[in-house]
Amino acid sequence: MDIDFSLVLVSLTFAAGFIWAFDRIFLLPRRTEAVGTFRDKSRSKRSGEADVDKTTQQLLREPLIVEYSRSFFPVLLLVLVLRSFLVEPYQIPSGSMIPTLQIGDFILVNKFNYGIRLPVIGTKLFDIDEPKNGDIMVFIPPHEDRYFIKRVIGIPGDTIRFEDKILFVNGIKQVQTFVAQLPPHNPQYLVYEEDFAGVKHLIHRDLFRDRSVQEWVVPDGHYFMMGDNRDKSSDSRVWGLVPEENIRGKAFAIWMHKAPGFNLPEFGRNGWIE
């Protein structure tokens, strides 16, 4: 299972805030009282001002953990708010969305487009918009506790049919136009442009025909997801539908690409995601 960065961030923010607040409420008054007592005794002993100031600073000094907590809490809180409610970065780990998204793409995910949710637990506070067919969505699938990214193929109420690698949504055939076979002289896959729900994008298909027919009806509160790399994607055809509470956001931009291994980041793929 992947590390739950949201849980780590919430835990660190809470810990830093708690330590800082505990110090302000309980420990700082004790240090201030100790300074007052010390100054009273110093006056009676007529101690030197320099010695009094030095000891006063030592008595008021925050413990190191409090100093770090006070410094990091505002930064952690800002990152938590931005990442939980506005925009979250995400790296593409697999080739299931090729050619739209490549392995090593760093993307940005809109966290409020589908409604504001609490971090970690995912409880929706209020709605803003709903996923639409053609959107590229980040979510947690029903079979595994980590982020996946796929294209929305069916929303509640839709009937999805997948026949000979062609999509039919509510009986309407989604047009695929042949673009190329790659590599040209020894093809390994075919490239098509698909016009899906008005969203034009490229997909990959392998060379073999598949005359099987699969059909699904999407119930309320669920979504049917599919990768653009149609024959190399584990998606709703395999593990089922995605419940609404598992949605994490809408992918909208590529901001960097770094190929796996010892490669430098590249910015030639930067742009909006369709």
Distance CA 235, CA 224 (A): 8
- CB 125 within 8 Å of CB 116: yes
In which element (H, E) is residue 65 found?
helix 64-85
Distance CA 71, CA 75 (A): 8
96 labelled catalytic: yes
Distance CA 218, CA 160 (A): 8
150 labelled catalytic: yes
274 burial via Cβ count (<10 Å: 0-12, 13-18, 19+): exposed
- CB 241 within 8 Å of CB 218: yes
- E strands in the chain: 87-91, 105-110, 116-117, 124-126, 136-139, 148-154, 159-163, 166-169, 172-173, 175-182, 189-196, 199-205, 213-217, 222-226, 242-243, 247-257, 271-272
Q: What is the DSSP letter of 245?
A: G
Question: Catalytic residue among 96, 111, 165, 236, which?
Answer: 96
Token digits for 261?
């291994």
Report which residue type is found at 176. Q
Question: Catalytic residue among 84, 111, 150, 250, which?
Answer: 150
Nearest residue to 247 via CA among 86, 109, 101, 102: 109
The residues annotated with a catalytic role in the active site are: 96, 150
